[in-house]
Chain A
């Protein structure tokens, strides 16, 4: 332990604030609004959880319905393309048949 250490300890000894410090702090604390720990309130926490669950449920069902509709749309499109393809083939066959009949005349 050096003399500089001793001198520093002496220089940095704790000091008391003014005599009315405690009273001032307690008065200020009494007037201060307590921290609103709203997330810590148990009732509100459950309500928030329920609201979040509702939002997730509604959002999920909307998304599910949207996906269903999209799938049905894709299926209908595929069926339409197939029907057009069949119709086209049949028309081609009919046209060939008519041309053959005309050529025989």
Chain B
């Protein structure tokens, strides 16, 4: 009955649990990983999210609904985990090794630096950044996922990008014989 209704409404029918796990495990795991910055904690969180899905499978109406649900629960579980463990980056930003070669998108050192910088953000801006740059969601979708006004999402994005530009720029100052990344990166949006 539910499948027929979904078909009529143009929704994709709900796949079985194993297919849902295979289809979305990278998304759920990556949200947790990028949020908590700890691989084993992220795997544990992702597993918990899928177990919660297994218990709520009867409430899922379509594949899209399940994907949205997983994204939302993954973010909220990650925030809860961070609150419980009072997570802070295990290596301080000052201790993180700086790149010795000119940084460019695709550079693993630069990527790690950016991930650490985002991990140092407060809970909500961090979630906004993960959803924006991992899931490529627009501010309206992020607002719906996190249950906050679109204006707040935009403000978090803007402030986080300013902070990233400042800190990433400071890490790659020309004085240290390295390119000024903030200048190279140019303006955002």
Give the interface of A toward B (CB within 8 A): 2-18, 21-22, 24-26, 28-29, 32, 34-35, 37
A13 to chain B: which residues have CB within 8 Å? 30, 134
Within the complex, what minimum Cβ distance (angstroms) separates B26 from chain A? 4
Top 3 closest A-B pairs, CB basis?
Answer: A11-B111, A4-B185, A12-B134
Bound-state CA distance A18–B187 (Å) is 37
Main secondary structure of the interface of A (DSSP, over half): helix
Q: A4-B188, A16-B25 are in contact. Are A10 and B34 (CB under 8 A)?
A: no
What are 23 A-B contacts defined by CB distance under 8 Å? A3-B105, A3-B184, A4-B168, A5-B133, A7-B103, A7-B104, A7-B107, A8-B114, A8-B129, A10-B105, A11-B114, A12-B133, A14-B30, A14-B134, A17-B25, A21-B25, A21-B47, A25-B25, A26-B17, A29-B50, A32-B55, A34-B55, A35-B56
For the A-B complex, the count of residue pairs with Cβ-Cβ distances under 8 Å equals 109
Give the distance to chain B from A39, nearest Cβ to Cβ, in Å: 13
Shortest CB–CB separation between residue A5 and chain B, in angstroms? 6
**Contact digits for B102-143, partner A, Cβ 8 Å, 1 yes 0 no:** 011111001110110010000000000110111010000000
Known: A4-B164, A7-B111, A37-B58. A15 touches B33 (CB 8 A): yes
Interface SS of chain B: helix
Query: How many chain B residues have a CB neighbour from A under 8 Å?
Result: 48
Q: Are B186 and A24 in contact (CB under 8 A)?
A: no
